[in-house]
């Protein structure tokens, strides 16, 4: 028995080493077939290595076209389109999305579901939320019919982003049920997180806190280090919204050093923003000024004034208010 186990472990080690070699390559390995290349590219995409993922998808498309594999060709072209879209080159991506229409058909579950997923995201990007929501609902029922559960959850997750507030709650909970019933547990963190954000938009802050706590549980099981950081931040933020200031501080203060260790200026900025608001609400205006200034500086470095100018102005306005309140204090502390 020990000998069999030893042979199995050696074989497993060889497989793992070969996989590691493949994923460390800058260029796709041309000896692999289209399905393998798509799987490899999907992994790179999940890791947000969009440039390299696109190279592998393009190689997969070439292989699929050579072999007459329409399903794989549809999947590869759809994902090439998505990599361009996510990097802000939607017009270039649209060329590849149009190619999927030429090869994709509803009798091809993998290809068609991938096409619907990307089409919906283009509609979302164009701010056609009603059309995007219709597409993602179509994708959900299609994937449910064909038992593509991971993609069904993805579709529900997207409706929970593009739909009305009521739809966001309904489809967020629907996605959670599907993920739990069909062992797609890696989706539970994002689903609960989005549900928390929806409850927050509805000013249901206690429900938001509950959802963020659920999200944190799953992000700690399945997420990256950054996922865990963001999950903790969301819980700390929600504690502040329900006026549980001590709990908020307990969660938020450690995130300063954590964000610095990850060199994550965005969430360092968001953490300072939360702490600055806490101190402002306590009338500790000088402390608030320090935190808000650091929040603005870090968020400016990651371009918040371009991608969320309203939030940038909100932080800047509160900083000015804190400065004025601080100046009204009789005694100014030494800095």
The whole-angstrom separation of Cα 257 and Cα 288 is 18
CB 171 within 8 A of CB 160: yes
Residue 333: the pLDDT is 52
Quick: pLDDT tens for 105-125. 999 999 999 999 999 999 999
The whole-angstrom separation of Cα 208 and Cα 206 is 5
Q: In this structure, is residue 136 part of a structural domain?
A: no
Q: In this structure, is residue 104 part of a structural domain?
A: yes
Q: In this structure, is residue 179 part of a structural domain?
A: no
The whole-angstrom separation of Cα 169 and Cα 177 is 12
Domains in the chain: how many in total? 2
Residue 30: the pLDDT is 58
Residue 328: the pLDDT is 87
Residue 47: both structure tokens together: 């890791």
Q: Which regions of the chain are under pLDDT 50?
A: 1-24, 330-331, 335
Residue 137: the pLDDT is 98
Residue 322: give the domain boundaries: 247-335
pTM of the predicted structure, to 2 decimals:
0.84
Asked which of 126, 148, 179 is the last residue of a domain, the reply is 126
Residue 26: the pLDDT is 54
- Listed in sequence order, the residues at least 6 apart from 306 whose beta carbon sits closer than 8 Å to its beta carbon are none
Asked which of 75, 93, 126 is the last residue of a domain, the reply is 126
Q: In this structure, is residue 143 part of a structural domain?
A: no
Q: What is the CATH number of the domain that holds 334?
A: 1.25.40
Per DSSP, 332 falls in state P
- N-to-C CA span, the chain: 70
Q: In this structure, is residue 222 part of a structural domain?
A: no
Residue with tokens 């590869």: 76
How far from chain centre, in Å, is Cα 279?
30
Report the C-alpha dihedral over residues 289, 265, 219, 170, rounded to 10 degrees.
70
Asked which of 74, 107, 126 is the last residue of a domain, the reply is 126
- Listed in sequence order, the residues at least 6 apart from 321 whose beta carbon sits closer than 8 Å to its beta carbon are 280
Helices (H), 47-108: 50-67, 70-86, 90-103
Per DSSP, 303 falls in state T
Q: In this structure, is residue 165 part of a structural domain?
A: no
Q: In this structure, is residue 54 part of a structural domain?
A: yes
Q: In this structure, is residue 78 part of a structural domain?
A: yes
């Amino acid at each position: 028995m020990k000998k069999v186990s030893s042979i199995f472990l050696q074989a497993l080690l060889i497989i793992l080493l070969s996989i590691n070699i493949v994923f460390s390559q800058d260029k796709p390995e041309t000896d692999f077939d289209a399905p393998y290349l798509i799987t490899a590219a999907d992994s790179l995409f999940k890791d947000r290595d969009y440039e390299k993922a696109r190279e592998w998808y393009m190689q997969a498309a070439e292989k699929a076209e050579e072999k007459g594999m329409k399903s794989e060709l549809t999947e590869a072209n759809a994902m090439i389109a998505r990599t361009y879209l996510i990097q802000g080159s939607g017009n270039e991506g649209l060329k590849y999305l149009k190619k999927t229409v030429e090869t994709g058909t509803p009798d091809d579950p993998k290809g068609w579901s991938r096409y619907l997923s990307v089409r919906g995201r283009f509609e979302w990007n164009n701010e056609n939320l009603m059309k995007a929501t219709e597409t993602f609902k179509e994708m959900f029922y299609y994937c449910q019919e064909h038992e593509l559960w991971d993609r069904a959850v993805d579709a529900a997750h997207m409706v929970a982003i593009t739909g009305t507030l009521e739809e966001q709650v309904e489809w967020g909970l629907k996605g959670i049920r599907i993920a739990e019933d069909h062992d797609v547990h890696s989706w539970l963190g994002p689903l609960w997180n989005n549900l928390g954000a929806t409850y927050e938009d509805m000013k249901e802050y206690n429900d938001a806190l509950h959802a963020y706590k659920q999200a944190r549980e799953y992000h700690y099981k399945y997420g990256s280090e950054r996922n865990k950081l963001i999950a903790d931040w969301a819980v700390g933020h929600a504690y502040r919204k329900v006026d549980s200031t001590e709990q908020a501080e307990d969660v938020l203060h450690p995130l300063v050093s954590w964000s610095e260790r990850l060199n994550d200026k965005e969430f360092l900025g968001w953490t300072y923003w939360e702490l600055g608001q806490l101190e402002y609400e306590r009338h500790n205006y000088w402390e608030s000024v320090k935190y808000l200034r650091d929040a603005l500086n870090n968020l400016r470095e990651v371009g918040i004034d371009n991608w969320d100018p309203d939030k940038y102005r909100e932080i800047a306005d509160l900083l000015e208010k804190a400065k004025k309140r601080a100046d009204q204090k009789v005694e100014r502390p030494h800095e």
